[in-house]
Structure 1
Amino acid sequence: MEPSDLADVLSAVRDFVRKEVVPIEEQIDAEDAIPERVIATCKEMGLYGFAIPEEYGGLGMTLTEEAQLAFELGWTTPALRSLFGTNNGIAGQVLLVGGTDEQKKSWLPRLASGEVTASFGLTEADAGSDPSGLATTARRDGTDWVLNGAKRYITNAPVADVIMVFARTNPGASGNRGISTFLVPAGTPGLSIGPKDHKMGQSGAWTADVYLDDVRVPAEALVGGEAGVDQGFQTAAKCLAHGRAHIAALCVGMAGRLVHESVEFAKTREQGGRPIASFQLIQGLIADSVTDHLAGRALVLDVARAYDAGTDKVQGPSAAKYFASEMVGRVADRAVQVHGGAGYIRGVAVERFYRDARLFRIYEGTSQIQQVIIARQALGKAARG
Structure 2
Amino acid sequence: MQSIKTLGAKASARGMVLTVLGVITLGVAVLSVGVSYHILEPRFGAWAVPTVAALDALWVVFQATEILARNNRRRAQRVQYAGLALTVINAAIPTADLILTEPRTFDLAMVLTPVAIVATKGAWWLTLPALGRKISQQTSQAIAERRQEVADTLETMEADAAHRIELLEMATALEQRVAKAETEYRKSVLAAQEAMTRDLHQQAEATQKAVTEMVLPASVAAIALPDLDTWTPTAPALPTTRAALDPGGTDSHAGQDAVPSGRHGGRDADRDAVALADLAAVTGVPTPQPGEPLTDDQLDVVLRHLRYRDDPPMSYRQAGAAFRARGYVGSEERVRHAWRALMTNEGAPAEESEKDDEEEEADA
- Calculate the TM-score normalised by the size of structure 1: 0.24
User: Greater relative contact order: 1 or 2 (C-alpha under 8 angstroms, separation 6 or more)?
Assistant: 1
Higher strand residue share: 1
Is the radius of gyration larger for structure 1 or structure 2?
A: 2
